[in-house]
Amino acid sequence: MTLMTTRMTTSYTASSVRYFLQDRNVSVLPWPVKSPYLNPIEHFWDLLGRRVRARAIPPRNIQELAGALVEEWGNTS
């Protein structure tokens, strides 16, 4: 059995796509539309924000904020 996650909703997904997947026994797991909890980049932005806020000296302007974000981005693995 093949599993697939997608943002398939009845109103936005062509019936031909649904039939194609059904014919090939692909089980589709529902994926809520606009769910920040399932979007990996949202977790990453949260991590960057927490790291920047935890700095001993917080950024004082946009340039320092940009530099801090780039630095923290580089520190992630």
Give 59's pLDDT tier (boundaries 50, 70, 90).
very high
The pTM assigned to this predicted structure is 0.53
What's the CA dihedral at 9, 15, 17, 22 to 10 degrees? 90
Do 15 and 40 form a contact (C-beta atoms < 8 A)? no
Nearest-angstrom CA–CA distance, 28 and 8: 8
Residues 70, 43 share a domain? yes
Digit-coded pLDDT (tens) for 62-76: 999 999 999 999 998
- The domain total for the chain is 2
What the block records as the tokens of 41 is: 């980049």
Digit-coded pLDDT (tens) for 20-58: 888 988 877 776 666 666 777 888 999 999 999 999 999
Nearest-angstrom CA–CA distance, 1 and 46: 35
Residues 54, 26 share a domain? no
* Per-residue pLDDT at 73: 94
What's the CA dihedral at 9, 11, 14, 15 to 10 degrees? 90
Residues 70, 55 share a domain? yes
Domain around 29: 2-33
